[in-house]
Amino acid sequence: MTNPLKNLQKFEIRAGMRVADLGAGSGAYAMEAARMVVPGGRVIAVEVLPDLITRIKNDAAHARISNIDVIHGNIEKLGGTKIAEGSIDRVIASNILFQVEDKDAFIREAARIMKRGGELLLIDWSGPHGGMGPHHAHVILAPDAEAMFLKHGFEFLRKIDAGAHHYGMILKRK
């Protein structure tokens, strides 16, 4: 499996940064990122499922992490995250690209909220892996994912090792 802390350490998140976790799921990445941006930084975890929103809030409270804002938002609609334009230093998109229906809208929304020169960490499944992960028809291969982001004005910076069943890459908003 993929390890949020190890992946985020390769993403160079620093104190004071504003980070958005789009499609935050269980909040594993948001929680680790929140620890990395202190002092002075904030993490915005955007999720659509109410149960997961509640889980992230409860886990953050239990861990005494107070610099996470958990919001209900639509990551596939321009403005749907409710995050101010050009306000985010780093965007996390982990195990979400294969799930979104409107991939272009998702990428446009990620770009909209990012500062110029901001970076995006993309982690996704590299295949179905014997029933673990998405159906093969939903897997977005790394070269295809990279091409989608390049089409929307991102620049490829580097690949990261994201675990046995995932690929990872860091892209920059031009």
For residue 9, name the pLDDT band (cuts at 50, 70, 90): very high
Going from the C-alpha of 11 to that of each of 19, 136, 172, the distances in angstroms are 11, 28, 11
Alpha-carbon distance 86 to 19, whole Å? 12
How, if at all, do strands 166-173 and 68-72 pair? unpaired
The predicted model gives 149-170 an average pLDDT of 96
For residue 129, name the pLDDT band (cuts at 50, 70, 90): low
pLDDT value at residue 136: 72
- Domain 4-173 class in CATH: alpha beta
Q: Is 51 exposed, middle or buried (0-12, 13-18, 19+ CB in 10 A)?
A: exposed
pLDDT value at residue 139: 83
C-alpha R_g of the chain: 15
| pLDDT reading at 133 higher than 80 | no
Boundaries of every domain in the chain = 4-173
The pTM for the full model equals 0.95
